[in-house]
Structure 1
Amino acid sequence: MDLRHLATLDAVASEGTFGRAAERLGYTQSAVSQQVAALERSVGGAVFDRPGGPRPVRLTPLGEVVLAHGREMLARARATEDAVERFKAGEGRVDIGTFQSVTNVILPAVVSQILTEHPRADIRLFEEETDQPSADGLDLVFFDGRLTGDVEQTKILDDPYALVARRGQFPEGPVPLQALHGAAMVAQPPICDQARVERVYADAGVAPLIVFRTADNRGVISMVRAGMGLAVMPRLALDALTDLSTHELEPALSPREIYLAWQANRTLSPLATRVIELAVSSAERL
């Protein structure tokens, strides 16, 4: 059955005459008659008793059945149209894979802006420290490096590294990379970009003594503060360290590259597209 025919049935039943239904729908009366006739052909019987003259038409028993179910179909159609319009306007759900630095520094501004623009948006964040995340089942994924597989991705930020030490441990200015040889260090697990950093150490003949590993950025900083060792951390992972000192390394480590990825050959929702725009602009401000 055509939804237009059901809408016409509903209008005639509500208004009582074909003429008033035509005014309500913006049709001619003959168009209303044609649509009712088409509906009656599709259901195989009359949906209205037509007494003639000024008296209102009445639903037949078949018409009552068709109207009851037809109104349910019209309500579902209106709900679908509303959901589609809200989706196009940026509502709906977006699932985002993230990691600590992005969660703490980039995403707060992004999430806040999205919820300001679209208060009914459903944002889901999934944080996992893994060597190579998957975009399967997610709309967007942040990662500190290029993702492999069937994905599209854009680099949003170069995040330089800094040596973190207790105040007075080194003079101001750059610190030679060789100063890390044999030094006690607190570090993250050797996954993601940390693995690359440690290969740079090895290639330079630098072998620090790793005394503690943790995926918690604050845990690393806390142990440096306690005097357990030095740390080499990306700038995005560092809050204002008023009681610690930061130094460039010489030669400098190449920065970690933060990417935003999504499944290739997949149409992104307006909400996911807006998240990309805001993440890029937030990274640019950094």
Structure 2
Amino acid sequence: MGIINFPYGGTLTTPLWARLDLRHFVTLGQVARSGSFTEAAAELGYTQSAVSQQIRRLESVIKHRVINRSVGGKSVSLTPAGRVLLRHAESLTATLQRAATDIEALSSGSAGILRVGCYESVGAHLIPSVLAGYQKQFPRVQVVLTELPDDGELLDRVERHDLDLTFVVFPLPDGPFETQALLRDPYVLVAASHSPVASSVGPIDLDENTDLPLMSYGELRSAHTIETRLGRPAYRDRVVFRSNHNSTLLSLAAQGYAAAVMPWLGIDHSRDDLCVRQLAKVSPRIVGIAWHRNRPLSDAASGFIHESRVAASELEARMTETLGFEY
């Protein structure tokens, strides 16, 4: 391969990142995808010599070869340094594409795509009301929903800029997030309508009902576990079944298998084979919405947050009326 002499780009005091050119990343990504300088040039609207020149300049700046060229230069492959830069090139290209989409939306009014993360309970009880108001204000915005059981995974997608907003449960893990609290969602005990729990009076104290088998959510962020919410690590041994599907927990509770500790939003309140009881000494979860602090909110995103606050306020008022107890 021989020895390559790389001239220094910039001055000795200029940091490497400041000498990198965004165009070089885009070119590297296209060369890697097409496997050829000729095809990359055609896709980018450059001449082949311009593509070669940009790759040479990139190699000059980082002082590493990024492309292995075959004999005759008809095909290429990435070096280890090239593969490292390619990961960043793909991320930068995706960010540029999203930025272009945002700018186009601003240019054409409130239009485009808004990507929102959610989980089952807010999807069933909150989002329909949010969308009803939102679509009147932003009829040209397409809201694309992503549902996952764990809001930790949704936050990861916000951090990677794969989502614009996501519904969350407080407290949040560390990360580059801004948040807006929306509503309090009380934890309750759900059991079969024919169970002894249904005929008991007053809030249920789980510490006083040690023989009551429990069900709760599966592997999620620790903020969601029954042990964390109730501040009782020993409850881990009382949980006989875990599932991230509300319908599964409710059906098993109705059958009498065990009682489920769930948030109010996770319950199908039309079922008459279940009873819902207040839990003593259990704080409600706080449902909110989060976004990346380093990405300015578009008008479409700000509008969605506003409609979420309106819908959440109305829903919390209905919950208070339905529950019949303070929480």
Deviations 1:46-98 (A, max 9, x none): xxxxxxxxxxxxxxxxxxxxxxxxxxxxxxxxxxx9854533xx221111111
The residue number in structure 2 matching 1:150 is 176
The 1:166/1:217 distance shift into structure 2, 3 A limit, reads same
1:115–1:256 CA distance, 2 compared to 1 (3 A): same
Aligned length: 203
Greater shift in the superposed pair: 203-212 or 141-150: 203-212
TM-score, with length taken from structure 2: 0.57
| C-alpha spacing 1:149/1:207, structure 2 compared with 1 (3 Å) | closer
Which position in structure 1 is the counterpart of 2:276? Answer: 246
Query: What corresponds to 1:118 in structure 2?
Result: 138
User: Shift of residue 234 of structure 1?
Assistant: 0.6
1:30 corresponding residue in structure 2: none
Give the superposition deviation at 1:206.
4.6
Number of the residue aligned with 2:122: 102
Structure with more relative contact order (C-alpha pairs < 8 Å, separation 6 or more): 1
Matched residue, 1:234? 263
1:175 is paired with a residue whose SS is: coil
* Change beyond 3 A, Cα 1:207–1:117: closer
Following the alignment from structure 1 to structure 2, what is the Cα–Cα distance between the partners of residues 203 and 245? 24
Q: 1:259 to 1:83 in 2, by over 3 A?
A: closer
Q: What secondary structure does 1:271 align onto?
A: helix
Q: Which residue of 1 aligns with 2:287?
A: 258
Mapped to 1, the partners of 2:111 and 2:297 lie a distance apart of 13
Q: Which amino acid in the other structure matches residue 109 of structure 1? A: S
Pair 1:245–1:179, CA change in 2 (3 A): farther
Listed as ranges, the matches of 1:1-286 within 5 Å are 84-87=106-109, 90-130=110-150, 132=152, 133-134=155-156, 135-136=158-159, 137=161, 138-147=163-172, 148-168=174-194, 169-170=196-197, 171-192=200-221, 193-195=223-225, 197-199=226-228, 201=230, 203=232, 206=235, 209-240=238-269, 241-250=271-280, 252-286=281-315
What is the CA–CA distance in structure 2 between the aligned matches of 1:82 and 1:128, rounded to whole Å?
Answer: 29
What is the letter of the counterpart of residue 185 of structure 2?
Answer: D
Cα deviation 1:9-50 (Å, max 9, x = unaligned) = xxxxxxxxxxxxxxxxxxxxxxxxxxxxxxxxxxxxxxxxxx
TM-superposed CA distance for 1:236, in Å, is 1.1
CA distance in 1, matches of 2:178, 2:252: 38
Give the aligned residue type for 1:143. Answer: V
Segments of 5+ residues of structure 2 without an aligned counterpart are 1-102, 316-327
What's 1:16 paired with?
none
- Structure 1 gap ranges (5+): 1-80
CA–CA distance in 2 between the matches of 1:199 and 1:108? 30
Compared CA separation, residues 177 and 204, structure 1 to 2 (3 A): farther
1:131 Cα deviation after fit: 5.8
Shift of 1:220: 0.5
Distance, in Å, in 1 between the alignment partners of 2:304 and 2:229 is 34
Q: Secondary structure at the match of 2:126?
A: helix
> For the residues of structure 2 that align with 1:131 and 1:123, how far apart are their CA atoms?
18
Change (3 A) 1:233 1:200: closer
Contact 2:185–2:287 (8 Å) recurs in 1: yes
> Which aligned runs of 4 or more in structure 1 are off by greater than 4 angstroms?
204-208
Q: Is the 8 A contact 2:189 2:278 kept in 1?
A: yes
